[in-house]
Amino acid sequence: MISARGELPRISLTQRRAVLAVAYQVRIARLHGVDPRDGAFRTRWPKGSVRSERRRISIRLNGLDLFAPGESVDLAVHEAFDRFAAAVSAERVKDLVQWAPPVVARDTRTGRLRVHANQLTTALARYRLPHLEVPAVVCGNPPKRQLTFTQAAALMLNVFGDFIDGNLDLICRLCGTAMEGGLLIEKSVNTAAMIRQRFPALEL
């Protein structure tokens, strides 16, 4: 993806933002020690479900049901997640929900909006800024089941884990600071700073 000179040909601003949002989701998944084999693909999206409707709404983060019930995952008491979330700036949190907005559908039984995609970055945003009003994409034909936290995390690791591991320099270059880079690639701030000195930063 990156040339020997550190160049990143033909990748748009939207794609750069998507890569950084994915890096955050993979990092959150790894914080919880999720096994990538843990049932991530049991829920299938109906054909064209996300793209069939592009209607957008605005909603407060605390009005969303993030994950399927039946699994006890309390992010508020998870020490590693708490430390990670505290290190992410409020501005970056706002960026993430703009770049990767929650994809939602209304539960026919409860009437509440359930998140069906971008669950992990939405969880981070709600943890940090629960009253923030964010854009959400309404999917007209959602899957029958919402993913649990473990399934959403395993899905991200299965699909994107190797990509992120193979592009750590890119992640550092996309970050706003060396501190953010170190946070995402699980290296020291000094290591992230050296990467950012070796290759030019990429604008977002």
pLDDT in tens, 176-203: 999 999 999 999 999 999 999 998 888 8
Please give the Cα distance from 89 to 91 (Å, whole number): 5
Of 54, 57, 28, 77, nearest in space to 133 by CA: 57
Chain-centre distance of CA 145, in angstroms? Answer: 20
Contacts of 62 (CB under 8 A, 6+ apart): 126, 130, 131
Output the pTM of the full model.
Answer: 0.87
Handedness of CA 90, 95, 98, 104 (dihedral sign): negative
What three-state secondary structure class fits 133? strand
Do the beta carbons of residue 196 and residue 172 sit within 8 Å?
yes
Distance CA 127, CA 86 (A): 10
Ramachandran angles phi, psi of 95, nearest 5°: -60, -45
- Which sequence spans correspond to the domains of the chain? 13-198
> What pLDDT does residue 186 have?
94
pLDDT reported for residue 45: 47
Cα distance between residue 43 and residue 59, in whole Å: 25
Q: What is the DSSP letter of 202?
A: -
Q: What residues have CB less than 8 Å from 201, skipping those under 6 apart?
A: 173, 174
Per-position pLDDT tens, the chain of length 204: 554 444 555 678 999 999 999 999 999 999 887 777 765 555 454 454 444 456 899 999 999 999 988 665 556 557 888 899 999 999 999 999 999 999 999 988 888 999 999 999 999 999 999 999 999 999 877 778 899 888 899 999 999 999 999 999 999 999 999 999 999 999 999 999 999 999 888 888
Helix (H, G, I), strand (E, B) or coil at 88: coil
The per-residue pLDDT for range 161-179, each reduced to its tens digit, is 999 999 999 999 999 999 9
Query: How far apart (Å, rounded) are the C-alpha atoms in residues 88 and 126?
Result: 13
pLDDT given for residue 74 in this prediction:
58
CA–CA dist 102, 88 (Å, integer): 19
Contacts with 192 (C-beta within 8 Å, 6 or more apart), sequence order: 172, 175, 178, 179, 180, 181, 182, 185
